[in-house]
Every structure is written in structure tokens, then in C-alpha cells.
Amino acid sequence: MIENPPPDKFSDHIFIPVKLRGVPVPAAPAISVRLTKTLSYRGVKVFGDLHGLRLSEFGTFRNCGKITVSELGRLIQRIRGGLTTAGHLADQQLSPRSRLFKVH
């Protein structure tokens, strides 16, 4: 079995590189409360818990709609793009709702 195959851009299976699977998933306010609760409900504590799951399956959970699934997709893209610690992720607001409340 290949542990680190390249992700298929047409698949909705979640791919987390081996070296990032032990990184803890951030909580609110770095991600929305809805996503935090959805991941908690699913038992996700580290990114490796997401590996191999389908992104589309999260849309079947209570209070996890298109926006929350989209937020999870962006979170996964960022972790694969080189943000390797929860601290780096916490520094960036990933929640689409957080933009609604910023004062300009």
C-alpha cells in the first residue's frame, strides 16, 4: 500500500500527507463553531483522523451544510499547502463567517 499517493483532484476523498497526520485540528475561533462541533462529533482530533474520509459525507451531519463543508475543504487545502502546525492555522481565520464581523 502506498502511504503517500498524490491526491486525485476529481475525488472527494480527503488526503492528508503522512507527515501531517499527527497535527492537531484547530478549534474555534480559527475555524467556525459549526465545523469544530462537526469534527468533534465525528471524533476528529488530528488531521490523520480525516485521511481517507469523503468530504461529501460531512454534509450529511446535522448543522453541517455547504458553507461548513467548504470551510473544511479550505482547511484541508491549507494543511496540504504547507501549514504544518495548529498554531499557524490558528493565526489565520479560516471561517467564512469570521469575515462578516470584521470592522473596516
Residue 57 lies in a domain: yes
Residue 36 lies in a domain: yes
Residue 15 lies in a domain: no
**How many Cβ atoms sit within 10 Å of the Cβ of residue 33?**
14
Residue 66 lies in a domain: yes
The pTM for the full model equals 0.70
Letter for the amino acid at 97?
A: R
- pLDDT (tens digit per residue) in 27-55: 888 899 999 999 999 999 999 999 999 99
Residue 19 lies in a domain: no
Q: Which domain holds residue 55?
A: 24-95
Residue 7 lies in a domain: no
Q: What's the domain count of the chain?
A: 1
Confidence of residue 2 (pLDDT cuts 50, 70, 90): very low
Identify the helix (H) or strand (E) that includes residue 86. Answer: helix 86-91
- pLDDT (tens digit per residue) in 5-25: 555 555 788 999 999 999 999
Residue 74 lies in a domain: yes
Residue among 38, 21, 12 nearest 84 (CA): 21
Asked if residues 80 and 23 have their Cβ atoms less than 8 Å apart, the reply is: no
Residue 63 lies in a domain: yes
